Amino acid sequence: MERQRAFFRSGATQGSSFRRHQLEAARALVDDNESRIHEALRADLGKSEFEAFVSETGQVRAEVNHTLSHFEEWMEVVGVGTPLSLFPSSSEIRYEPKGVCLLIAPWNYPFQLVMAPLVGALGAGNCAVVKPSELAPATATLTSELLGRYFSEDLVRVVTGGADTSQALLRERFDHIFFTGSPAVGKIVAKAAAEHLTPVTLELGGKSPAIVDETVDLRLSARRIAWSKYLNAGQTCIAPDYVLIPAHLAQDFETRLTEAIHRFYGADPKTSPDFARIVSDAHFDRVRGYLDEGRVVVGGETDRESRYIAPTVLAEAREGSRVLEEEIFGPVLPLIPYRSLDDAIEWTRRHPDPLALYVFSKSRERQERLLEAIPAGGSTINDALVQFSNLELPFGGRGGSGAGSYHGRFSFETFSHKRAIVRAATWIDPPVRYPPYRGKLRWLRKLLG
């Protein structure tokens, strides 16, 4: 901490050339080591090379390239208007790096969710302490090695370990904390940050609904929902957590989902090279418990030794059951029939604001009604997950699903302090603001309107 703070105060990170060099180093890290990164992701989560590229290395490369293309523009001082009451003067906003930032990453996308925030922190001119997840040990070890090789420890330092390590880091005073993980741990992070009045970005989760109406192509909707749900074996914070489907279409939708699963992963998904595995025994046991809380439509097979849980569709889940109340974070998809759109809206409102809302409808009126009625961190209409990959959009939650946002310019702004500056003229000094005030108030009222 002392070394990084001293390095930051030296001003070395401020210039655009230094930042560009670090961003190019981040790109080289990915380009030079992509196969090793993919191997680590397969060891930790059973990810296929395609999934590893699409959701991890490819996403990081896109983030780096986008930032390299725009960060100098983002760094520019922004002139803003100045009220007549401050005449003659000018006003501006300057983006300044915050200092030493702590980045705590989760296990589900253990490379991307280290590197994407780090790109934002470096582009904004900060130093960073990085804590990868110990639950993805192969990726954590490799990430530690690579960051140590491509960056000076005065700029980027990796600290590995478990919960005790995170708690020790949180006792230190950082200038910003960026945490991705569960709402329960997010509360712990926010509480620790409050001891130092440290600003935080919390990327959490929750039960993200997919609401389907009768106007859609059921086959297409089922295919897109199945892809987004079973990517990374359902271990995605913005995966659809459950589907609300008109009651008279429920059986047909079960058939369409079953067809999509078989087309994606074959009759036995355990043998598919494209289906990932659960990260740990503890998470396997938790997700396995959901299978007993409804009627298994398709899937349901498990193998604890390989931490395999088949892509599963669950119908007739019991009211109040854990699968309908807890964030699933696994390849189990409950279907909930509804009779009216009001019923669907009411169901979603039983839970805190989700990180994502997915609306499947061809009716613009219904799309807008659901967007207005159900607060969420972000949304996609007639698809799922894809809002994450648009770097022109902010990614983040609200309420129980998080605070703050990042990606692209929004990452730069998250890791920057927006300093307000007024430049006052000295060639004139209007006396109206100085005592004595007698007779001046009426003129001031006219001036301010």
Query: Which tens digits make up the pLDDT trace of 189-226?
Result: 999 999 999 999 999 998 999 999 999 999 999 999 99
Residue 296 belongs to some domain of the structure = yes
Task: Work out the pLDDT band at 296, boundaries 50, 70, 90.
Answer: very high
Residue 25 belongs to some domain of the structure = yes
What's the mean pLDDT in 362-374?
Answer: 97
Residue 135 belongs to some domain of the structure = yes
Claim to verify: residue 326 and residue 199 sit in the same structural domain: no
- Residues 60-95 have pLDDT tens digits of 999 999 999 999 999 999 999 998 888 899 999 999
CATH number assigned to the domain comprising residue 104? 3.40.605.10
Claim to verify: residue 225 and residue 307 sit in the same structural domain: yes
pLDDT at position 371, please? Answer: 97
**Confidence check: pLDDT of 38 > 90:** yes
Residue 139 belongs to some domain of the structure = yes
Structural domain including 78 reads 2-204+397-421
Residue 426 belongs to some domain of the structure = no
Q: Are 117 and 97 in contact, with CB atoms under 8 Å apart?
A: no
Claim to verify: residue 189 and residue 261 sit in the same structural domain: no
Report the catalytic residues.
203, 237
Report how far residue 440's alpha carbon sits from residue 443's, in angstroms, rounded to the nearest whole number.
5
Sheet of 378-381: strand order equals 295-298, 312-315, 332-338, 242-246, 209-212, 356-360, 378-381
Amino acid at 206: G
Claim to verify: residue 226 and residue 317 sit in the same structural domain: yes
Claim to verify: residue 11 and residue 82 sit in the same structural domain: yes
Claim to verify: residue 384 and residue 409 sit in the same structural domain: no
pLDDT at position 208, please? Answer: 97
Claim to verify: residue 189 and residue 90 sit in the same structural domain: yes
Residue 438 belongs to some domain of the structure = no
pLDDT at position 396, please? Answer: 97
Residue 448 belongs to some domain of the structure = no
Q: Which of 344, 371, 389 is a domain's end point?
A: 389
Predicted structure pTM score: 0.95
Number of compact structural domains in the chain? 2
**Confidence check: pLDDT of 150 > 80:** yes
**Confidence check: pLDDT of 303 > 90:** yes
Task: Work out the pLDDT band at 109, boundaries 50, 70, 90.
Answer: very high
**Confidence check: pLDDT of 447 > 80:** no
pLDDT at position 439, please? Answer: 87
Claim to verify: residue 82 and residue 132 sit in the same structural domain: yes
Task: Work out the pLDDT band at 397, boundaries 50, 70, 90.
Answer: very high
Claim to verify: residue 13 and residue 151 sit in the same structural domain: yes
Q: Which of 344, 365, 389 is a domain's end point?
A: 389
pLDDT at position 445, please? Answer: 83
Claim to verify: residue 17 and residue 166 sit in the same structural domain: yes
Report how far residue 256's alpha carbon sits from residue 252's, in angstroms, rounded to the nearest whole number.
6
Task: Work out the pLDDT band at 432, boundaries 50, 70, 90.
Answer: confident
Of 124, 104, 122, nearest to 113 (Cα)? 104
Amino acid at 220: L
Residue 290 belongs to some domain of the structure = yes
Claim to verify: residue 89 and residue 121 sit in the same structural domain: yes
Claim to verify: residue 257 and residue 289 sit in the same structural domain: yes
